[in-house]
Chain A
Amino acid sequence: MTRHAAAPGSWDGRATPASALPPVAEYSLRLGDDALVLAQRLGEWVSRAPQLEEDVALANIGLDLLGQARTLLTYAGEVEGEGRDEDDLAYLREERDFRNLQIVERPNGDFAVTIARQLAFSAYQLGLYRSLCGSADATLAAIAAKAVKEVDYHLDHATQWVLRLGDGTRESHHRMQAALEQVWPYVDEMFDADELTSVLAGEGVAVDPAALRPPWDATVSAVLARATLTRPEPGFHGRGGRRGLHTEAMGQLLAEMQHLHRSYPGASW
Chain B
Amino acid sequence: MSSRDWPLWEVFVRGRRGLSHVHAGSLHAPDATMALRNARDLYTRRQEGVSIWVVPAAAITASSPDEKDPFFDPAADKAYRHPTFYHVPDGVRHL
Contact = CB atoms under 8 A, between A and B. Distances in A.
B29 A53 contact: yes
Interface string A156-192: 1100100010000000000000000000000000000
A145 B37 CA distance: 22
Contacts of B41: 53, 56-57, 60
Size band of the interface chain B makes with A? 10 to 19
Contacts of A53: 6, 27-29, 38, 41-42
A57 B38 contact: yes
Interface in A21-69: 51-54, 56-57, 60
A2 B32 CA distance: 61
A250 to B, nearest CB: 29
A157 B6 contact: no
Contacts of B27: 53
B17 interface: no
- If over half of A's interface residues share one DSSP class (helix, strand or loop), that class is named, otherwise mixed; here it is helix
Interface in A136-171: 156-157, 160, 164
Contacts of A54: 38
Nearest to B34: A160
A66 to B, nearest CB: 15
Contact of A160 (B37, B42, B45): B37
Interface string A80-116: 0000000000000000000000000000000000000
B37 A156 contact: yes
Interface in B13-54: 27-31, 33-34, 37-38, 41-42, 45
Interface of B: 6, 27-31, 33-34, 37-38, 41-42, 45
Interface of A: 51-54, 56-57, 60, 156-157, 160, 164
Q: Which 6 A-B pairs have the closest CB atoms?
A: A53-B38, A57-B41, A56-B41, A60-B41, A53-B27, A53-B28
